[in-house]
Amino acid sequence: MKSELIFSGIGGQGTILMGKMACTAASKKGYNVTLSPAYGQEKRGGRASCQVVISEEIGSPIISEADTVLVMDEKSLKDYEGKVKSGGTLVINSSMISTKATRKDIKVVEIPFTEIATKVATAKSANMVALGAVVKSLDIITLDDAKEVLKIKMKPALVDANIKALEAGYNFVK
Amino acid sequence: MGDKVFMQGNEAFAEAAIRSGCKFFFGYPITPSSEIPEYYAKKAPSEGLTFIQAETEVSAFNMVAGVAATGKRGMTATSGPGFSLGCEAMSYMSAAGLPSVIVDCMRPGPADGEILGSQGDYNQLTKGGGHGDYNTIVLAPYSVQEYADFAPLAFDLAEKYRNPVVVASDGTIAKMMENVEFPEKIAPKGRSDWACDGINGRDHYNDITTCGDGPEQWEKYNLNLQSKYTKIRENEQRWEEIQTDDADILIVAFGSLSRVCLTAMRIARENGIKVGIIRPITLWPFPVKAFEKFADKDVKYFVTELNAGQMVNDVKLAVNDNKKVEFYGRLGGITPTPVELYKKLCELYK
């Protein structure tokens, strides 16, 4: 089994953190994982994206076409809509993106990450809502795998709120 | 060996170097190498390391030469622009037989260029770079695990041959995160017979010199260096062959791009084209031996690099112009996708 994912957004939105969490979850199950980050010099506000390859064998860190692409802002949609594999999934942060996707050969999921996060936790958990939505599109990582990683990676005080956010994102996708 | 850790390439190399007993780091920060000095600086207090941020790469490389002269393990890490500044010291360290380790996280040049993955320094690293007849061993990792594994290997080779060793990574391998398993920590080694570390139990002081006295002596000095390089060429060529047995087309690629080639090869095979890969691991000595067994076979070569065509010349020499050798390169920090490489391969060999 193999999964190729792209997470793209603005520095500070947690796009690379999401990639790392997906990698950690998959590597716990014995997969080879590779995360290639790309970011500007700015700590916050610059472009930030990562390509994640989860696979049984070692291969290219550079993705031709991704199974799932998550876009957190307008520019990411413009840059990466074309990178989704035919039949793949494009997850759109509709809290920040008003433009509609044009592709008809892919599954497009629009989710208001910030509004959902604010409802179940705080706005800061928007990226965990996003991760939940991405996990729903994958066979390789389950919701429980993602929860386990979250428990390890986050401060204990933040775990409950973020698990709620993760579940809300997962359950939003039909 | 311990558990696997999910870690960035540069940090994994730094951790492995510390575990290899390299207690001295001198450097000047430059993207995409800066996580190596950063990691050393962070670990310096708890691990008892010496970390110095030099005023330029010229100083940093010469500080490495200085610590190497005392027989201790020291290193620096930089990118192309910094490596150019260090080339004077590379020449002197080579002449003086100083075992040191230098990481070059290549970025596309010339000049400042970009900060993404590139292999534009191949010629500089393998053909000298500095002045005079000298060579340094060059190791090119293609994964975070191999990057880390090359830390102890680089120091061992440097000491075995008393020669600088360069680890040639790039923006992709440096920043990439993968699972890595580290070797056990080793204690810094004891005294070297030749080192300038005071009397240290000997009956004489050692001298390190780069000078012959007059042309005859200087020629002899050079011939000694050349015989060392011959020995390294005989003993240290390293490469990996992937699905080469039945291959009609052999891709030759190293470092980050060889990873892309793995997937391109799988796509080609799914489409009925028998492709294999020769992956040079030592860029110098170039693994000419890898090509010998295909001399009598009907194979064609496809060389791909993140530069305008540098290693391709070594491939052409290795096959004595007896085989078709095609080249495809990308510049400026662009790494082709596996599909792009596959299509190019089909276009060139249709």
pLDDT digits (tens, 9 = 90+) for B227-238: 999 999 999 999
Full-model pTM? 0.95
Q: Is A24 on the interface with B (CB under 8 A)?
A: yes
Q: Do B172 and A61 touch (CB under 8 A)?
A: yes
- What tokens were used for B236? 């240290």
pLDDT of residue A102 exceeding 80, the answer is yes
Question: B73 — contact with chain A (CB < 8 Å)?
Answer: no
- Read off the pLDDT of residues A5-57 as tens digits, 9 standing for 90 and up: 999 999 989 999 999 999 999 999 999 999 999 877 666 778 999 999 999 99
Cα–Cα dist B23/A159, whole Å = 39
Over range A82-93, report the average pLDDT: 97
Q: Chain B contact for A23, CB < 8 A?
A: yes
Q: Check if CATH label 3.40.1440.60 holds for domain B239-349.
A: no
Q: pLDDT per residue over B182-212, tens digit each?
A: 989 998 777 888 999 998 889 999 999 887 7
Q: Complex ipTM, two decimals?
A: 0.94
pLDDT on residue B210: 85
Q: Which residues of B touch A61 (CB under 8 A)?
A: 172, 176, 256, 259-260
CATH superfamily of B5-198+227-231: Thiamin diphosphate (ThDP)-binding fold, Pyr/PP domains (3.40.50.970)
* Chain B residue with minimum CA distance to A17: B177
Chain B nearest-CA distance from A18, in A, is 13
3-state secondary structure chain B: CCCCEEEEHHHHHHHHHHHCCCCEEEECCCCCCCHHHHHHHHHHHHHCCEEEECCCHHHHHHHHHHHHHCCCCEEEEECHHHHHHHHHHHHHHHHHCCCCEEEEEECCCCCCCCCCCCCCCHHHHHCCCCCCCCCCEEECCCCHHHHHHHHHHHHHHHHHHCCCEEEEEEHHHHHCEEEECCCCCCCCCCCCCCCCCCCCCCCCCCCCCCCCCCHHHHHHHHHHHHHHHHHHHHHCCCEEEECCCCCCEEEECCHHHHHHHHHHHHHHHHCCCCEEEEEECEEECCCCHHHHCCCCCCCEEEEEECCCCCHHHHHHHHCCCCCCEEEEECCCCCCCCHHHHHHHHHHHHC
Contact predicate A62/A36, CB 8 Å? yes
Q: Where are the domains of chain B?
A: 5-198+227-231, 239-349
- When pLDDT is averaged across residues B323-347 and rounded to a whole number, the result is 96
Q: If one looks up domain A2-172 in CATH, what number appears? A: 3.40.920.10
Which among B117, B195, B132 has a CA at the least distance from the CA of B162?
A: B195
Please name the residue of chain B whose CA is at the shortest distance from the CA of residue A19: B177
Q: Which of A62, A65, A80 to mutate to test the interface with B (most CBs of B within 10 A)?
A: A62
Q: How confident is the model at residue B46 (pLDDT cuts 50, 70, 90)?
A: very high
Domain extents in chain A:
2-172
Secondary structure class of A2 (helix, strand, coil): strand
Model confidence pLDDT, tens digit, residues B60-98: 999 999 999 999 999 999 999 999 999 999 999 999 999
Pick from A32, A58, A63: CB nearest B337? A63
Q: Which residues of A touch B178 (CB under 8 A)?
A: 32-35
